[in-house]
């Protein structure tokens, strides 16, 4: 889908909160499948739900009885189990791909929960991984994998065959310090949240540096360890500003638009669960509710095909959903570009 | 650099932290003992490296100063509540105790956690409980007035000792009493009337009701709340001071008492110098070293109750320097020391919770002291079951020659002695590099007898054999009675 010339941004209101504890536990990331299914990576380890909170089952098993290496690394995670999962993504067949930092692998499951395989091995050589995290497909369904501790991004076929990669440790252009998230726009350009450098870098599909934005801080357009990242069909860029407990929205050029700090309300199942606990209801009448709406430790942000922004609210057992309200503009529908801000509206 | 200097520095770092590697010890000896002590009591000179146990943005304002520390954010990324794979709070705390660049700050967290024992079992509100630990770490070396004031405003403590139920028309004496009995002066230094006045002074000291329980969205840490309408503004008399006293006035009076200075001095002595009898017996049994207590009391009064100053005096004293191996290691010290020795978990890897489980099996479940009196220390740590756990743990942990710390010992032994190591050199070398550990001569001879059976170690021979023999010796050393002392 081509990038729109411009947007009239009507708003980006909070839509609803999905989930409740014991259903959406420790949500790390979300992915979207057919029939409105939402796959939530967390403690389940993958819970299937939808915008209507339905509990549609789980995929995979959590691993607990792993063997540790001499320095504590989990070196033996059984197939089909996940120990330190980070991100999940679906291909066009609705198969799920999940990174696991503990065993340096990408595991693959069918939408019905069948374990289809796993690839990836620990190391620093081309095609090897050291704590893989972010995942994104390009238009050809080749998979970008952020290779966190090797400070690079690599691309593989869905079967794990190495295709290309770039990046090394540092803070210059094309260098990374423990990158986390990756996203691909409709032109195939690649966005990497450069976690420990507190910035986002954009590259061509060949790995050529295009631009960067962000710096360390708590202000607008600043980051404290950006984690997940997403790009929608308008080429807007969403950055999960993990250390600042917020999502920041940027234009395709990297200009700050707005931030989201959380607006959660009690979901329908949360209301039901709460009302079965009389003491909880009473305490709630006495409580300071100011902070409960806010994000706590979000690690990812995703945008679905309907333009809904989903934020896995990691420490609060819920997903917060927002609806973008944009109007695409042609050049004749707005004034020509201005070189400077102005106080004259017309 | 002499063995004595190394031994003294190792002693300091065992007490002020979780020990140090041989390389670290040599660097610290070069720096100089008093300079190291000065650094220890000034943790602000070093980058944080000890962050996340409770992170400021779990609740409340956004962080104002993004961390530039080497590992804070990495710990948050990998050890922050990801369900099972990361680590529990005790696990993370152990990580910090082992790796912090501010080891005394962590140790003081452990100290106050013992003195102001507060278990989460009652509140089941870990986010609030973790904040208490953060407070201990934050103000642990401040003046005692500040510490008591923070403690008296800590929601976890207020709930643990029922001060949220302490109303002006229905007082609850629990906190007001324990503040005097267990947290400052000790029994025999106040009257029942003082307890009542203390309780009335703390009426209205409560906390904001947090939003949720476990369901539906988890818990939010809460904060102190002074409920003016619930506070008794009437006149009270406390330790001879009369007026419309509130909790702050009570604390101001408490910290001026010699009994308080003695109480804290004895706690510091018991924790950092040598094992004293249980706290409950302090009224009947005099201090092990009355002059040391007097010295620490003088440090208290000359510094306005500064714990940092007391610690500086303590660590630079002869009574401290002469107290090597005069304390039974607490389970946390044993586990932390072994982790230092073997060199693992310098990065945030999975599995750190195993070590929190280990301390619990040895009788010290961090963040869950059994009673308000804390744990029974000294010989109280040792019984048939816990001794077995302690020895088995240490033996298992030193069994892998490829762990970084074990490999470093093997390499040093090889470098130091050329191609051959006699049984005596093996024993003495291992004893030195494990601690140095000072063992009785009988113990040393038994170790040598074990080593003699297999003759000299040839370093250019079979590496597997060399590794095995050194590891076996290390296992024997960590099994000795002497290794249980710090």
Q: Is the dihedral of CA B288, B290, B291, B293 positive or negative?
A: positive
Give pLDDT, residue B67: 38
Condensed to tens digits (0 to 9), the pLDDT of residues A22-32 reads: 899 889 999 99
- Per-residue pLDDT at B338: 97
pLDDT band at B348 (very low <50, low <70, confident <90, very high): confident
Contact assessment for residue B388 and residue B461, using Cβ atoms and an 8 Å cutoff: no
Q: Do B85 and A72 touch (CB under 8 A)?
A: no
Q: Measure the CA–CA gap between B402 and B470, rounded to whole angstroms.
A: 12
Instruction: Tell me which of B120 and B234 has the higher pLDDT.
Output: B234
Beta bridge pairs of residue A295 = none
Say whether residue B133 is in contact with chain A using an 8 A CB cutoff: no
For B73, the closest chain A residue by CA position comes to: A225
CA B155 – CA B175 distance, rounded (Å): 12
Q: Could you report the per-residue pLDDT of A79-110, keeping only the tens digit for each?
A: 999 988 999 999 999 999 999 988 899 999 99
pLDDT tens column, A312-327:
999 899 999 999 999 9
The answer to whether A97 and A107 are in contact (CB under 8 A) is: yes
Q: Which of B209, B351, B402 is nearest residue A288 as measured by Cβ atoms?
A: B209
Q: Which of residues 215-254 of A touch B (CB under 8 A)?
A: 216-218, 224-225, 243-245
Confidence tier at B215 by pLDDT (50, 70, 90) = confident
Say whether residue B418 is in contact with chain A using an 8 A CB cutoff. no
Reported as a single tens digit per residue, the pLDDT across B419-452 is: 788 999 999 999 999 989 999 999 999 999 999 9
A303 membership: H or E segment, kind and range = strand A302-303
- State the nearest Cα–Cα gap between A269 and chain B, in angstroms: 8
Residues of A in contact with B76 (CB under 8 A): 225, 243
Question: Does residue B83 sit at the A interface (CB-CB below 8 Å)?
Answer: yes
Residue-level pLDDT at B54: 30
pLDDT of residue A137: 98
pLDDT score for B81: 44
pLDDT bin (cut points 50, 70, 90) of residue B68 is very low
A171 touches chain B (CB under 8 A): no
pLDDT at position B69 over 60: no
Q: Tell me which residue in B80, B220, B404 faces A292 most closely, judged by beta carbons.
A: B220
C-beta atoms of A266 and B350 within 8 A: no
A223 neighbors A254 (Cβ within 8 angstroms)? no
Is residue A283 less than 8 Å (CB to CB) from chain B?
A: yes
Q: What's the confidence (pLDDT) of residue A115?
A: 96
Please determine, for residue B75, whether its predicted confidence score (pLDDT) is greater than 90: no
pTM listed for this prediction: 0.89
More confident residue, B454 or A138: A138
Q: Worst-scoring range by mean pLDDT, A160-169, B11-20, B87-96, B147-156?
A: B87-96
Rounded to whole angstroms, the Cα distance separating A225 from A216 reads 8
pLDDT band, residue B352 (cuts 50/70/90)? confident
Beta-carbon separation of B212 and A280 below 8 A:
yes
**pLDDT at residue number B477:** 97
pLDDT digits (tens, 9 = 90+) for A245-280: 999 999 999 999 999 999 999 999 999 999 999 988
In 3D, which of A57, A14, A43, A217 has the Cα closest to residue B83?
A43
Residue B246 to residue B231: CA distance in whole angstroms: 8
How many angstroms separate the CA of residue A258 from the nearest CA in chain B?
17
Candidate from B97-111, B297-311, B413-427 with smallest mean pLDDT: B413-427
Report how far residue B232's alpha carbon sits from residue B234's, in angstroms, rounded to the nearest whole number: 5
Residues near A126 by Cβ (< 8 Å), separated by ≥ 6?
Answer: A154, A162, A165
Nearest to B400 among A70, A101, A317 (CB): A70
Mean pLDDT (whole number) for B301-328: 97
Out of A21, A72, A286, name the one closest to residue B216 (CB): A21
| Contact (CB<8Å) B350/A224 | no
Of A277, A291, A315, nearest to B81 by CB-CB distance is A315
**Disruptive mutation site among B212, B358, B401 for chain A (greatest number of A CBs within 10 Å):** B212
Pairing of strands A302-303, A175-176: unpaired
Q: Tell me what the pLDDT averaged over chain B comes to.
A: 88
Q: Which of A178, A245, A266 sits opposite B62 (nearest CB)?
A: A245
Cβ contacts from A onto B, under 8 A: 147
Name the nearest CA neighbour of A116 among A79, A68, A144.
A79
Give tens-digit pLDDT for A101-139.
888 999 999 999 999 999 999 899 999 999 899 999 999
**What pLDDT is stored for residue B88 in this prediction?**
62
Instruction: Show the tokens assigned to B16.
Output: 């002020």
Mean pLDDT across the stretch B316-344?
96
Residues A278-285: what's their mean pLDDT?
A: 91
Residue A299 distance to chain B (closest CA, Å): 9
pLDDT score, position A229: 98
Determine the Cα–Cα distance for residues B342 and B344; give it in Å rounded to an integer: 6
pLDDT band with cut points at 50, 70 and 90 for residue B304: very high
Q: Say yes or no to pLDDT of B260 above 90.
A: yes
Alpha helices in chain A, H assignment, sequence order: 268-275, 278-286
Q: Which residues of A touch B208 (CB under 8 A)?
A: 287-288
Question: Least CA distance to A270: which residue of chain B?
Answer: B216
From chain A, the residues in CB contact with B347 under 8 A are: 71
* B 349-378 residues inside an 8 A Cβ radius of A: 349-352, 354
Distance from CA of B231 to the nearest CA of A (A): 19
Residue A21 to residue B214, Cβ atoms within 8 A: yes
| Tens-digit pLDDT profile for residues B466-476 | 899 999 999 99
A68 and B77: CB-CB below 8 Å? no
**Chain B partners of A102 at a C-beta cutoff of 8 Å?**
85, 350
d(CA B429, CA A9) in angstroms, rounded, equals 73
pLDDT at residue B176 above 80?
yes
Q: Say if the ipTM goes beyond 0.90.
A: no
Instruction: Give CA–CA dist A232/A4, Å, rounded.
Output: 11
Radius of gyration of chain A (CA): 20
Contact B216 A274 (CB under 8 A): yes
| B63:A71 CB<8 A | no
pLDDT in tens, B50-62: 333 233 223 233 3
In angstroms, the CA A117 to CA A95 distance is: 11
**Residue of chain A with shortest Cα separation from B343:** A71
The pLDDT, as a whole number, for residue A83 is: 85
For the segment A62-87, the average pLDDT, to the nearest whole number, is: 78
CB atoms within 10 A of CB B145: 18
Cα–Cα dist B117/B369, whole Å: 6
Interface check A12 vs B, CB under 8 A? no
- Residue B328 DSSP label: B
- Alpha carbon A25 to its chain's center: 16
Average pLDDT for chain A: 93
Question: To probe the interface with A, which of B51, B85, B353, B404 has the most A CB atoms within 10 Å?
Answer: B85
- Judge whether A250 and A259 are in contact, CB under 8 Å: no
What's the N-to-C CA distance of chain B in angstroms? Answer: 22
Please tell me which of the candidates A218, A225, A270 has its beta carbon nearest to residue B62.
A218
Structure confidence at residue B49 as a pLDDT band (50, 70, 90):
very low
- B208 interface with A at CB cutoff 8 Å: yes
Q: Which residue has the tokens 């932390």?
A: B336
- Partners of residue A215 in chain B, C-beta under 8 Å: none
pLDDT in tens, A26-53: 899 999 999 999 999 998 899 999 999 9
User: How much is the pLDDT for A124?
Assistant: 92
Judge whether A83 is closer than 8 Å to chain B, CB to CB. yes
Q: What is residue B354's predicted lDDT score, i.e. its pLDDT?
A: 87
Test A28 with B212 for CB contact under 8 angstroms: no
Which chain A residue shows the shortest CA-CA distance from B127? A315
Closest by CA position to A124, among listed A164, A152, A159: A152
State whether the Cα torsion B70-B73-B78-B81 is positive or negative.
Answer: positive
Confidence tier at B11 by pLDDT (50, 70, 90): very high
- By C-alpha distance, which of B343, B337, B349 is closest to B91? B349
Interface touch B58/A218, C-beta < 8 Å: no
Main-chain dihedrals φ then ψ at residue B349, nearest 5 degrees:
-100, 160
- For chain A, say whether B214 makes contact (Cβ under 8 Å): yes
SS3 B173: coil
Q: What is the pLDDT of residue B85?
A: 37
Q: Where are the alpha helices (DSSP H) in A191-315?
A: 268-275, 278-286
Which residue of B48, B216, B343 to mutate against A (max A Cβ within 10 Å)?
Answer: B216
């Amino acid at each position: 889908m081509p990038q729109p010339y411009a947007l009239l941004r009507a708003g980006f209101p909070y839509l609803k909160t999905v989930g409740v504890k014991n259903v959406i536990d420790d949500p790390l990331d979300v992915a979207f499948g057919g029939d409105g299914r939402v796959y939530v990576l967390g403690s389940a380890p993958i819970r299937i739900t939808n915008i209507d909170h339905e509990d549609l089952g789980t995929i995979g098993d959590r691993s607990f009885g792993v063997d540790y290496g001499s320095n504590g690394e989990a070196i033996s995670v059984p197939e089909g189990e996940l120990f330190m999962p980070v991100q999940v993504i679906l291909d066009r067949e609705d198969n799920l791909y999940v990174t696991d930092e503990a065993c340096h692998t990408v595991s693959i499951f069918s939408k019905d929960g069948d374990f289809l395989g796993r690839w990836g091995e620990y190391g620093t050589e081309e095609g090897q991984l050291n704590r893989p995290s972010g995942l994104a497909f390009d238009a050809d369904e080749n998979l970008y994998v952020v290779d966190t501790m090797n400070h690079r991004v690599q691309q593989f076929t869905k079967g794990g065959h190495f295709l290309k990669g770039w990046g090394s440790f540092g803070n210059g252009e094309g260098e990374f310090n423990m990158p986390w998230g990756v996203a691909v726009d409709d032109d195939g350009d690649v966005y990497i949240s450069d976690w420990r450098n507190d910035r986002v870098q954009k590259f061509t599909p060949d790995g050529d540096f295009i631009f960067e934005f962000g710096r360390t801080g708590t202000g607008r357009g600043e980051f404290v360890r950006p984690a997940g990242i997403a790009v929608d069909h308008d080429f807007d860029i969403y950055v999960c500003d993990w250390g600042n407990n917020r999502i920041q929205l940027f234009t395709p050029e990297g200009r700050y638009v707005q931030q989201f700090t959380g607006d959660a309300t009690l979901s329908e199942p949360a209301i039901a669960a709460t009302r079965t606990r009389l003491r909880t209801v009473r305490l709630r009448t006495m409580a300071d509710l100011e902070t409960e709406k806010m994000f706590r430790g979000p690690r990812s942000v995703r945008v679905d095909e309907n333009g809904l922004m989903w934020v896995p609210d990691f420490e609060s057992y819920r997903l917060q959903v927002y609806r973008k309200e944009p109007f695409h503009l042609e050049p004749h529908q707005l004034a020509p570009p201005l070189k400077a801000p102005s106080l004259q509206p017309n | 650099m002499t063995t004595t200097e190394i031994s003294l520095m190792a002693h300091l770092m065992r007490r002020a932290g979780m020990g140090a590697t041989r390389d670290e010890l040599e660097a610290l000896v070069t720096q100089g003992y008093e300079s190291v002590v000065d650094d220890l009591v000034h943790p602000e000179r070093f980058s944080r490296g000890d962050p996340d146990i409770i992170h400021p943005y779990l609740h409340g304002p956004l962080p104002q100063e993004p961390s530039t520390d080497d590992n804070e954010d990495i710990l948050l990324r990998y050890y922050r509540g990801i369900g099972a794979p990361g680590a529990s709070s005790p696990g993370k705390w152990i990580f910090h105790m082992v790796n912090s660049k501010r080891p005394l700050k962590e140790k003081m967290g452990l100290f106050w956690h013992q003195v102001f024992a507060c278990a989460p079992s009652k509140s089941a509100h870990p986010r609030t409980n973790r904040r208490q630990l953060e407070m201990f770490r934050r103000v642990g070396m401040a003046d005692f007035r500040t510490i008591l004031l923070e403690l008296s405003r800590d929601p976890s403590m207020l709930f643990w000792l029922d001060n949220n139920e302490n109303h002006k028309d229905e007082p609850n004496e629990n906190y007001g009493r324990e503040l005097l009995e267990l947290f400052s002066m000790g029994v025999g230094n106040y009257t029942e009337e003082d307890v009542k006045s203390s309780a009335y002074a703390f009426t209205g000291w409560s906390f904001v009701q947090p939003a949720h329980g476990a369901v539906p969205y988890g818990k939010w840490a809460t904060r102190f709340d002074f409920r003016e309408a619930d506070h008794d503004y009437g006149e009270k008399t406390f330790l001879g001071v009369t007026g419309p006293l509130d909790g702050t006035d009570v604390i101001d009076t408490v910290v001026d008492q010699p009994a308080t200075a003695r109480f804290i001095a004895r706690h510091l002595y018991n924790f950092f110098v040598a094992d004293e009898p249980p706290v409950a017996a302090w009224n009947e049994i005099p201090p092990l070293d009355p002059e040391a207590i007097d010295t620490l009391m003088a440090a208290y009064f000359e510094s306005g109750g500064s714990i940092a100053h007391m610690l500086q005096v303590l660590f630079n004293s002869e009574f401290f320097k002469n107290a090597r191996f005069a304390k039974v290691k607490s389970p946390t010290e044993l586990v932390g020391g072994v982790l230092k020795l073997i060199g693992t978990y310098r990065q945030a890897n999975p599995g750190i919770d195993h070590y929190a489980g280990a301390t619990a099996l040895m009788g010290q479940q961090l963040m869950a002291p059994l009673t308000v009196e804390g744990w029974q220390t000294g010989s109280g740590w040792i019984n048939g079951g816990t001794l077995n756990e302690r020895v088995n743990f240490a033996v298992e942990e030193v069994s892998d020659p490829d762990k970084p710390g074990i490999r470093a010992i093997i390499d040093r032994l090889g470098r130091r002695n050329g191609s051959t190591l006699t049984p005596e050199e093996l024993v003495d070398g291992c004893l030195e590099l494990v601690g140095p550990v000072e063992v009785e001569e009988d113990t040393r001879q038994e170790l040598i007898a074990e080593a003699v059976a297999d003759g000299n170690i040839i370093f250019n021979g079979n590496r597997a054999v060399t590794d095995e023999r050194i590891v076996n010796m290390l296992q024997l050393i960590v099994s000795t009675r002497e290794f249980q002392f710090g």
